[in-house]
Structure 1
Amino acid sequence: MVPTPSAPVFEHHAPHRLGTGEAAPRLSWLVDGAAQGYRQHAARVQVLTTTPRGQQTRSTHHLPGPDQVLVPWPSAPVASRTRIAVRVQVDDGDAWSPWGPWGHVETGLLDPADWTARPVGPPPSQDGEPGRVRATFHLPADPVHARLYLSAHGLVEAEVNGRRVGDEELTPGWTSYRHRLRYATFDVTEQVRAGENALGLWLGDGWWRGRLGFGEGVERFYGDHLAVIAQLEVVDADGERHVVSSGPGWRTGRGPVRASGLYDGEHVDLRDDDPSWSTPEHDDATWGPVVVHELDPGSALVAPTGPPVRCVEELEPVSAVEREPGRWVLDFGQNHSGRLQVRASGPAGHQLRFRHAEVLVDGELHTAPLRSALATDVLVLDGTDVEWEPRFTVHGYRYAEVSGWSGPLRPGDVVSRVLSSDVPRTGWFRCSDPLLQRLHENVVWGARSNFVDVPTDCPQRDERLGWTGDLQVFAPTAAFLFGVTGMLTSWLRDLAAEQEELDWVPPFVPYLPLPPFTELPRDPMAVWGDVAVLTPDVLHTATGDAALLRAQLPSAVRWLQHVERSAGPGRVVHDTEQLGDWLDPAAPPENPFEATTDRFLVATAYFAHAAARLAATARTLGEDRLAHEQEVLAGEVRSAFAREFLTPDGRPRDDTQTAHALATVFGLWPDERTAAAGGRRLAELVREADGRIATGFAGTPVVCDALTRAGHVEEAYRLLQSTHCPSWLYTVLQGATTIWERWDAIRPDGSVNDPTMTSFNHYALGAVADWLHRVVAGLAPAAPGYRHVLFAPRPGGTLTSAGATHSSPYGTVSIDWSLAPEGMHVEVVVPPGVTATVDLPGAPPVQVEHGRHTFHQPVPRHPDQHDQHDAQEAL
């Protein structure tokens, strides 16, 4: 077998990414076709760079050693607008492999001086219409290379000579605009031509000017104007470079979009649309001059580190019911984020209305959980046959109502386009229980729905904020299922920028001054603010990216300093604003922070855990002094936790699932005796609750792990496979296709819980999927970037088989196990460059190397036959 390296990946970018922001991008590659026992002894890296005018530079670099993930750039830093091609050879100690395929990226505008474009837009409008902007330009010769660099105050979509540019949605996304404004890069070489050309730009309110937040929210938070920042650079066949930059002289005019909001939807009147508006032939005599704005002096135009939002899937209705003539209710079979695409016809002036909701009540859309979000799109027809979808809105829904429809609703007339950040899928789970399989799919869809440029809490109501606590508890699951590091790197940079400005890790990023947070002291809110320490740690474990740890270290240190100041010399977090074990199912519906577990117990437990993880981060980075300081601090907090929250005999004063779980997983028990007793008590609490969950945001991610570590695997499975309310599988049996915000968002009597805070698409409580991957399937990283893997499945409950697959930085890692009367059969796959430990019940751990390995192990097993068989029949 001949080892063959893959095309290299640059940083965390997708292949062929345009407009990257790194002058010296790190490289990663896989190795295919290697014989068992393969070791990379060295690599050769060939670098080919090309300028827009076609000037090329080639170099070859010898890299000794086994590194193949995030390898430092071996060549000279590149300039703006450089096309980079890299390929790799590897040496296995006996011979050099053939050259692998080329990997490609292209840098964007790396220097602020590269920008000549200025923000331009329509004059202020009393009716709030977003308007459009256009410019014409002449090219003396055919183009050979053309790039459009595009950003906006608001949202923007471009057309060149009557054709849409690219397939990205909601450009430029949502960043902390006061600090960072992202731009996108598009290849428009095939759309421009010699002679006259036109560039047209649609504008939308988006996050810049639109309504944001809950309650009354805020409007026009970042500005009361809309503007586009567009720089078109063309190299023609004669080698001449032409730059068309937004600025004075550009024109603005009215378009068909009457209103555009992320919450309320889009209103479009096609009677005011002229398809020629973005062509040079268009007569723009009725258009006026643009208003020229300035960039915020504290904000920088930055290249993306992650993928854009795109349509990642299309859903056809699984049912369509005509409730009355012309009014249809459609079920797409899956809750998701997206918007409708319709094929329609009718007389000019005829209006179609599209409403969206997550659930039905009595066959009709139940919109109360949307709160004030209208989630309604309106289309006024122009008398022609049209294919249309909104441009600058996104909804969270499973069901849609179509009103004003003429004639039958045929297949393909209305489809739902699923919008999400185009993060690659990297993790899969499978098992013998269809209910658990559906639960895992719900987790996947919850992530897909809420990764819409920023990691939001929900995609449907008047909120959709980047809540830090939700992401913190879900990050391990997210990092297994999707390649989220690029997306979250951008978000963490925003977090650090907001933190530096506010001297506080806010509960959501980007931060908005929303009551009640504007009226509360800026206290360190545990679980939520701990994202500054714990999420970079999770991403480093998943990818081996120590540079990300280094970049976020000041933010992590600043967070712990804030917690330490608030706790004082007693090292116990008291007298601060805390959300605690948010949405504990026993908390009153109207007061979800009033959990049964003391919120200061939760905060102090997290204080100890965050200090310990920051110490580990510091050790990784060679910051030994900081590591020692944090290790001492973590020990002091653990001692304080025992004094304050444990009885003299070592039991938690709060006898709850969350208290026992946090103490177990965060290592807060004073000794082995109390740890064992705590584990036994946690198992008793689960049995006393008949398998019902009793944890919120803080306890849920750790409760199954706590039971497993304490040796009570069957109680963990009992929690997992319970179908009583509250439980994960209760939601599945109620028809959930995503993870709910509340355990009982739909109560056993079929009624919907308090609509002021009942989202049917929140991923936080789906953090249990991390345990499914690591413990049920038995696949976990044992070294950063999966350089070493732990296979340690722990069968239980009624499962007879399970497995997981992960696309690690080194290649595919996989495990499958099944039970038979004679014992447990296990098969694992280890990619080249990786070693693994196989730890099966009842057997000593075994070390294995690259390759496919099978094991047979007798496993005594006495499953707890609770209500699972009936549940499977119900599904």
Structure 2
Amino acid sequence: MPVHNTKNIFFSALLTLFTALSTAQVKVGQLLTENRINPQGLDIQQPRFSWQLEGKEQNLTQTAYEIKVLTGGKPVWNSGQVKSAQSVQVAYRGPALQPGTTYEWTVRVWDNAGRVSTFSTPAFFTTGLQTTAAWKARWIEPGYQEDTLLRPCPIFRKQFTLTRKPVKAVVYITCHGVYEAQLNGAKVGDAYLTPGWTSYPKRLQYQMYDMGKTLKQGENTLEVMLGNGWYRGVLGFEALENTYGKTLALLLQAELTYSDGTKEYITTDNSWQSTTGQVQYADFYNGDIIDYRRERAPWGAVKEMDYGFGNLIATVNEPVRKQESFTPVKIWRTPKGELLADFGQNLVGWVTVKVSGQAGDTIRLDHGEVLDKYGEFYRTNLRSARCSDMYVLKGNGTETLEPVFTFHGFRYVRLKGFRETVKPEQLTASVIYSDLPQTGSFECSNPLLNQLHHNIVWSQNGNFVDLPTDCPQRDERMGWMGDAQLFSRTAAFNRNVNSFFTRWLADIAADQFADGSVPVVVPNILGGFGGVAGWSDAATIIPWNMFEVYGDSQLLAKQYPSMKAWIDFMDKNSTGYMRKETFQYGDWLSFTTEGAAEVNKSAVTDISLIVQAYYACSVQLLVKAATVLGHKEDSIRYTQLLQQVKELFVREYVTPGGRLVSATQTAYVLALHFDLLPEAQRAVAAKRLVDNIRSYKNHITTGLLGTSYICHVLSRFGYTDVAYDLLLQETYPSWLYPVKMGATTIWERWDGIKTDSSFQHWHMNSFNHYAYGAIGDWMYRVMAGIGTDSVGGEGYKKIVIKPHPGGGLDYVKAALQTYYGKVAVHWKRVNGTIKMEVAIPANTTATVYVPQRDGITYEKVSVGSGHYQFESK
């Protein structure tokens, strides 16, 4: 690994020599289809392929590629040698793909040294049904009279006999509700909470599974249990039920292919049977009630229903799966005598219990996030959500108790009904979240910042359960748009969220109102209000963020009509380029003081200023999208609109001396981050922002909308030291205050638990709420310095490395797995100098800014792929 003195340029000769001496064979690996590994059920006629070049030599690039696609060993398409450096999202260009078919593909590449790789290990993908006409199944509902109080989970059954075993067997499943399928007693697939939560009337996902290994010659039994889920379970603040319908229904189609090419179908129809069993009640908010004594009721008929197939879509994103597991770090009795288990981490999932007892014994598990100041179990902040699982024992030795159709946000569990001492090994907390590949890592010399990063990651885990939610525990758990857009860049560092947001953005477009207004939650269960600044703007902000990170112009093109409709709504609902007054959230949860003595220190930002700032932000992003996508007329039109919106902002909210009429941190942050001020006034505004921060003794006062940008603005205008002062602040309000108070996830409020150990208002006090975790983006992009030159829309094809040492830190170490490979930075202070190690993946280039000893100036170096060491002198 060469060491480079940034005052000498001779290193380029060393790199050339190093490359010339290298004779290693270039390899290809990490194959993805539509951003996923070997996906099943694709309903895309031109799926996109991505791969990575693998080689240790420096300046390794691709000059050409060749892709082969086969099915059943027979060639389908060969791209031939294509002279191109593109290795990410290369579209299939062959004949039409057939439904329900498995394809394999492989690729080889040529590099800039004239070498050609061998063909890669094949990757696979399987197409879905592709058209509604391919559905042979019928929707079915239970034929029995349902108990309308508890509504036990219906079970559907089909028994069938196979005289021979098929060479291929797949099944497509969806439902109204959520489902668990079993074939011959074994779970079908490893996903949970399927088919997920989408805008059901317009978009209902189905999943595809391989069931060939579980099928057998002779008698087979296929069973599917349905739960209420998001479809008809309790949802929202008012605990409403039946949001999408009153009854649960199943749609299933299995396709068996035999060695002679013939096919057989097992489909839901009136030949199936239905009953109920042990799961007497199942709800996301309230939990499950399971009676293990109960035998299944007699099997009865089902009803065929004509719900149609027009809203069915293949699954786009990664499923929810079981992830980590925890055993209690402590089991004890509180001063009140309640038996509690502490799992040491605020998490999302459920607890599995192993216990012995007598028939009829009831075991109850109540879930909560925190203890009160007296060490007692606290659940008031869950509001109306019961968050309890109840089990009635069968009484036949050791029994395993586990919920089926619920999940909870918790760290602590209250245990009731146990006859004997409970040991830690009897309890296992299973964590669930969408199975998104981990991409980022961060570490530094400050343990509190490392815990902060841990908390950010775990809040993302707990709130990325099929869609981005605000919180995972109380009677809410909705896809709040403001939280998601503010956190989206941080989310993309921690995990690969390309497909995750692709699906959710499609639901945003589906739920967008006819006039172009955008709801504040998606799927929209709150009814007919939208148009809220900072929340509805997720429709423009997230697509652009995903484009910057992943270079996904296809996603940008899909969302463009939605983006444009939102801008046109704001334009039509403006007077003189000023948006009309409507309901707004403003800078939600900003700092406010209590009592008249400090009333002037409250940091409430003028709502109309916020609305106008986000108006400009969204128009600016639409202009960028129009330029990328080649919509020249739109680019011209909306550039003119942007100019008018910005001019109005200056006229209404900025004095000639550069003072904002609402002189809060958030006001200055939005004005500067969205480039709303004339160039001549920006430095003055930045200084006023710093003065404001200093007046609060280096405390942050922003709410949701200002928090994600404040440190970026400070660094951009030369105040990285002030950004570090904010980040390292340990007293309220600050990022590290909850860390010092023992938090293991991000809190909804800066002071969810106050300094006297009392709580903020119970009505809105989640302890797992990722929005303030948006600071993670600054930690990766500024502290560590991992960025991208996204002007060309190629994601991390062109990398920028520009760390900002500061805050008294001895080192920062971070890495990001991109579609091209791993980008890594490790800077450290050694005897008054700054040493830096950098890793750049193959087929990319990077501009590295090496920080000098003063921590302010930089030496700029352009490099290709490889590992490098730099040292300031």
Using structure 1 for the length normalisation, give the TM-score. Answer: 0.92
Q: Residues 263, 502 of structure 1: CA spacing in aligned structure 2 closer, same or farther, 3 A cutoff?
A: farther
Match of 2:803 among 769, 785, 793: 793
Matched, 1:141 2:164: yes
Matched, 1:852 2:852: no
Matched, 1:472 2:482: no
What is the one-letter code of the residue matched to 1:601? L
Deviation at 1:87, TM superposition (A): 1.0
Matched, 1:745 2:752: yes
Matched, 1:117 2:129: no
Match of 1:294 among 301, 306, 319: 306
Deviation at 1:500, TM superposition (A): 4.5
Who is 2:122 aligned against?
102
Secondary structure in 2 aligned to 1:714? Answer: helix
Matched, 1:234 2:256: yes
What is the one-letter code of the residue matched to 2:642? A
Who is 2:522 aligned against?
509
Who is 1:534 aligned against?
541
The answer (yes or no) to whether the contact 1:7–1:101 under 8 Å persists in 2 is no
Measure the CA separation in 1 of the matches of 2:336 and 2:182: 38
Deviation at 1:349, TM superposition (A): 1.1
After TM superposition, the structure 1 = structure 2 runs for residues 320-469 of structure 1, keeping only pairs within 5 Å, are 320-323=331-334, 328-361=339-372, 362-384=374-396, 385-469=398-482
What is the one-letter code of the residue matched to 2:390? V
Deviation at 1:845, TM superposition (A): 1.7
Measure the CA separation in 2 of the matches of 1:187 and 1:678: 60
Deviation at 1:56, TM superposition (A): 6.7
Match of 1:699 among 702, 706, 713: 706
Who is 1:803 aligned against?
813
Deviation at 1:372, TM superposition (A): 0.1
Secondary structure in 2 aligned to 1:649? Answer: coil
Matched, 1:68 2:79: no
Who is 2:5 aligned against?
none
Measure the CA separation in 1 of the matches of 2:117 and 2:349: 45
What is the one-letter code of the residue matched to 2:464? F
Matched, 1:757 2:764: yes
What is the one-letter code of the residue matched to 2:264? H
Measure the CA separation in 1 of the matches of 2:603 and 2:694: 20
Measure the CA separation in 1 of the matches of 2:383 and 2:337: 26
Secondary structure in 2 aligned to 1:620? Answer: helix
What is the one-letter code of the residue matched to 2:201? R
Match of 1:728 among 724, 729, 735: 735
Q: Residues 575, 500 of structure 1: CA spacing in aligned structure 2 closer, same or farther, 3 A cutoff?
A: closer
Matched, 1:266 2:273: no
After TM superposition, the structure 1 = structure 2 runs for residues 548-587 of structure 1, keeping only pairs within 5 Å, are 548-569=555-576, 571-586=577-592
Q: Residues 828, 329 of structure 1: CA spacing in aligned structure 2 closer, same or farther, 3 A cutoff?
A: same
Moved more, 702-711 or 448-457: 702-711
Match of 2:824 among 790, 795, 814: 814
Who is 1:165 aligned against?
188
Deviation at 1:613, TM superposition (A): 1.4
Who is 1:663 aligned against?
671
Matched, 1:86 2:105: yes
Measure the CA separation in 2 of the matches of 1:346 and 1:788: 63
Who is 1:35 aligned against?
57
The answer (yes or no) to whether the contact 2:472–2:768 under 8 Å persists in 1 is yes
Deviation at 1:626, TM superposition (A): 1.0
Measure the CA separation in 2 of the matches of 1:523 and 1:212: 19
Measure the CA separation in 2 of the matches of 1:108 and 1:588: 58
Match of 2:640 among 632, 635, 638: 632
Who is 1:768 aligned against?
775
Q: Residues 328, 785 of structure 1: CA spacing in aligned structure 2 closer, same or farther, 3 A cutoff?
A: same
Percent of aligned pairs with the same amino acid = 37
Using structure 2 for the length normalisation, give the TM-score. Answer: 0.93
**For residues 135-158 of structure 1, what are the alpha-carbon distances to aligned partners after superposition, in whole Å with 9 as ceiling and x for unaligned?**
111212112211121111001101
The answer (yes or no) to whether the contact 2:137–2:253 under 8 Å persists in 1 is yes
The answer (yes or no) to whether the contact 1:804–1:815 under 8 Å persists in 2 is yes
The answer (yes or no) to whether the contact 1:7–1:87 under 8 Å persists in 2 is no
The answer (yes or no) to whether the contact 2:515–2:569 under 8 Å persists in 1 is no
**For residues 579-635 of structure 1, what are the alpha-carbon distances to aligned partners after superposition, in whole Å with 9 as ceiling and x for unaligned?**
11111021789xxxx961101111111111111111111111111111122222222
Match of 1:156 among 168, 179, 183: 179
In structure 1, list runs of 5 or more residues that go unmatched. Answer: 275-283, 859-875
**For residues 147-203 of structure 1, what are the alpha-carbon distances to aligned partners after superposition, in whole Å with 9 as ceiling and x for unaligned?**
121111001101111222121111111000010110111111111111221111111
Compute the RMSD of aligned alpha carbons. Answer: 1.9
The answer (yes or no) to whether the contact 2:530–2:536 under 8 Å persists in 1 is no
| Structure 1 residue ranges, 4+ long, deviating more than 6 angstroms after superposition | none
Matched, 1:598 2:602: no
The answer (yes or no) to whether the contact 1:147–1:189 under 8 Å persists in 2 is yes
Measure the CA separation in 2 of the matches of 1:646 and 1:363: 50
Who is 2:715 aligned against?
708
Secondary structure in 2 aligned to 1:272? Answer: coil
Secondary structure in 2 aligned to 1:454? Answer: coil
The answer (yes or no) to whether the contact 2:170–2:255 under 8 Å persists in 1 is yes
What is the one-letter code of the residue matched to 2:815? T
Task: Kindly tell me the number of residue pairs found equivalent between the two proteins.
Answer: 831
Matched, 1:316 2:327: yes
Measure the CA separation in 2 of the matches of 1:26 and 1:412: 46
After TM superposition, the structure 1 = structure 2 runs for residues 480-519 of structure 1, keeping only pairs within 5 Å, are 480-501=493-514, 503-513=516-526
Deviation at 1:671, TM superposition (A): 2.5
Secondary structure in 1 aligned to 2:859? Answer: coil
Who is 1:870 aligned against?
none
The answer (yes or no) to whether the contact 1:356–1:399 under 8 Å persists in 2 is yes
Moved more, 169-178 or 558-567: 558-567
Secondary structure in 2 aligned to 1:532? Answer: helix
In structure 2, list runs of 5 or more residues that go unmatched. Answer: 1-23, 596-601
Measure the CA separation in 1 of the matches of 2:692 and 2:603: 16
Who is 2:10 aligned against?
none
Q: Residues 325, 404 of structure 1: CA spacing in aligned structure 2 closer, same or farther, 3 A cutoff?
A: farther
Deviation at 1:35, TM superposition (A): 2.4
Deviation at 1:296, TM superposition (A): 5.7
What is the one-letter code of the residue matched to 2:251? I
Who is 1:197 aligned against?
220
The answer (yes or no) to whether the contact 1:7–1:88 under 8 Å persists in 2 is no
Secondary structure in 2 aligned to 1:175? Answer: coil
Secondary structure in 2 aligned to 1:442? Answer: helix
Q: Residues 143, 818 of structure 1: CA spacing in aligned structure 2 closer, same or farther, 3 A cutoff?
A: same
**For residues 5-29 of structure 1, what are the alpha-carbon distances to aligned partners after superposition, in whole Å with 9 as ceiling and x for unaligned?**
114210122x222222222211000
Measure the CA separation in 2 of the matches of 1:700 and 1:7: 36
Measure the CA separation in 2 of the matches of 1:831 and 1:273: 59
Who is 1:188 aligned against?
211
Who is 1:244 aligned against?
266
Measure the CA separation in 2 of the matches of 1:268 and 1:56: 52
The answer (yes or no) to whether the contact 2:181–2:187 under 8 Å persists in 1 is yes
Measure the CA separation in 2 of the matches of 1:847 and 1:71: 27
Measure the CA separation in 2 of the matches of 1:680 and 1:821: 33
The answer (yes or no) to whether the contact 2:26–2:115 under 8 Å persists in 1 is no
Who is 2:598 aligned against?
none
Deviation at 1:79, TM superposition (A): 1.1
The answer (yes or no) to whether the contact 2:516–2:568 under 8 Å persists in 1 is no
Moved more, 173-182 or 792-801: 792-801
What is the one-letter code of the residue matched to 1:752? F
The answer (yes or no) to whether the contact 2:330–2:424 under 8 Å persists in 1 is no
The answer (yes or no) to whether the contact 1:234–1:243 under 8 Å persists in 2 is yes
Moved more, 695-704 or 56-65: 56-65
Deviation at 1:358, TM superposition (A): 0.6
Match of 2:623 among 612, 615, 620: 615
